[in-house]
Amino acid sequence: MNFIISTSVLLNNLLVAQKALSTKTPAPYLQGIKLEVYQNEVITITSNSDISIKLSIKDESLKIESQGEILIPGKFFVDIIRKLEGETVEFSVIDNNILRILAGDSDVTLNLLNVEDYPELDFPLNDEPIRLDSKIMKSIIRQTTFATSAIENRPILTGVNIRVEGEKLMAIATDSFRLSQKNVDIPKNLDNMNVVIPGKSLDELFRILESNLEEILIHLNHKSILFEYGNVLFQSRLLDGNFPETSRLIPVEFPVIIKFNKEKLFVAIDRASLLSSKEGSSSIVKLNLRNDNVVEITSNSPELGKVTEKVYPLEKTIGMSIKIAFSSKYFMDALKTFNSEEIYVKFTGEIRPFVIEGDNDPGLTQLILPVRTE
């Protein structure tokens, strides 16, 4: 096997491929990057227990002298390519087990892993995939995965439930204390779908969706889901089990609705949380809608002191007077997902879940459970 390629082109692809490299597995072959060299393309394959990535590299700089396939220690290979100074890099295999790397004034040899140990990975494509604008896919991930559970005692809640019903795609995430739901209209009536994708897999996909390509194709199989994006095939395992039915959790009637400037509300909650008696997701603040249409955000710590922030609604509030306590972190996490400058906070009662929505974020609903303080 022998070929030459642009160093920067190779590195850009390796930075994507390494997202599926396994770092903790006892199986050394899963710490490797499989390189398959054909007549006019180079393919890289990486995989861990959650995701697999296949990249097809075709470039005018690519000059292939001989074909073959090898398995390269992934971390070391990426680090070496990252630090090379030559504009192009040449690869050749010596005695079937050593990779020679030539670039500029650098001459590096790297011991190869046994390519026969690497599992055969399938990346099946459907004839009629779901087609989504890549910007919409990014927004779905950004607006939902933060609400997945970080605790493994209910594995199904560590994922995002993706459903296709008719011409609507729904993405739902919850950790039992908050819920994020994003509804998107899809242009084509496809078969119904109901799967749960690990939140961490979607976060890695989000980091790949950086170029200006317009479309991402979604291919669903029984045990995996595959996202096709440019020259990237990104495959994730699915979580087994039934995702909880959440449709009944979201209220439809709201006795109290308050319209806020998102940034001013965020800053007020952030400042109030500084003197909360608890930390992290347990940092509790209180919201009090007074009869004069002024909202107070407060926190109190016997050891530290008390904060009172006044926030003025943008419009006359629907309904009057409510007091409710909640996690400041959960509220601020939810606010960060909105593109809208103005948001609505909708209450059903002082000890019932409340909802956040925005005019410029159609289909997005954030729900938070209040906290009892007495």
Cβ of 182: how many Cβ atoms within 10 Å?
Answer: 25
Least Cα distance to 98 among 78, 80, 72 occurs for 72
CA 203 to chain centre: 2
Residues 87 and 134 in one domain: no
Which range scores top for mean pLDDT: 27-31, 186-190, 321-325? Answer: 321-325
**Judgement on whether residues 79 and 17 belong to the same structural domain of the protein:** yes
- Per the domain annotation, does 122 fall within a domain? no
Whether 76 maps to a domain, the answer reads yes
Rounded alpha-carbon distances, angstroms, from residue 217 to 220, 235, 280, 337: 10, 12, 38, 24
pLDDT at 278: 67
367 in Cβ contact with 333 (< 8 Å): no
Average pLDDT over residues 351-360: 95
Tell whether 145 and 208 lie within a shared domain: yes
Burial of 258 by CB count in 10 Å (0-12 exposed, 13-18 middle, 19+ buried)?
A: buried
Which residues, including other chains, have CB under 8 Å from residue 58's CB and lie 6 or more apart?
Answer: 40, 41, 231
Beta bridge partners of 311: 295
163-175 pLDDT, tens per residue?
Answer: 988 889 999 999 9
pLDDT at 277: 61
pLDDT in tens, 79-137: 999 999 999 999 999 998 999 999 999 999 999 999 999 999 999 998 888 889 999 99
User: Which pLDDT value is given to residue 280?
Assistant: 58
Between the CA of residue 41 and those of 55, 140, 215, 269, 326, what are the distances in Å? Answer: 10, 33, 23, 53, 55
Q: Tell me, yes or no, whether 16 lies in a domain.
A: yes
CATH of the domain at 198: 3.10.150.10
Given 95, 117, 139, which residue is the final one in a domain? 117
Residue 192, in any domain of the structure = yes
Rounded average pLDDT over 329-334: 96
Domain with 90, as residue range(s), is 2-117
Report how many domains make up the chain: 3
pLDDT at 180 over 90: yes
Render pLDDT for 290-309 as a digit per residue (tens, 0 to 9): 999 999 999 988 788 899 99
Res. 288: pLDDT tops 70: yes
Residue 92 lies in a domain: yes
Contact of 317 with 258, CB cutoff 8 Å? yes
Question: Do 255 and 243 fall into the same domain?
Answer: no
Q: Is residue 323 part of a domain?
A: yes
* Whether 265 and 283 share a structural domain: yes
Q: Tell me, yes or no, whether 110 and 141 share the same domain.
A: no
- CA distance linking residue 71 with residue 365, whole number of Å: 46
Q: Is residue 147 part of a domain?
A: yes
Are 147 and 331 in contact, with CB atoms under 8 Å apart? Answer: no
Residue 291 lies in a domain: yes
Min mean pLDDT across 31-35, 39-43, 47-51 is at 47-51
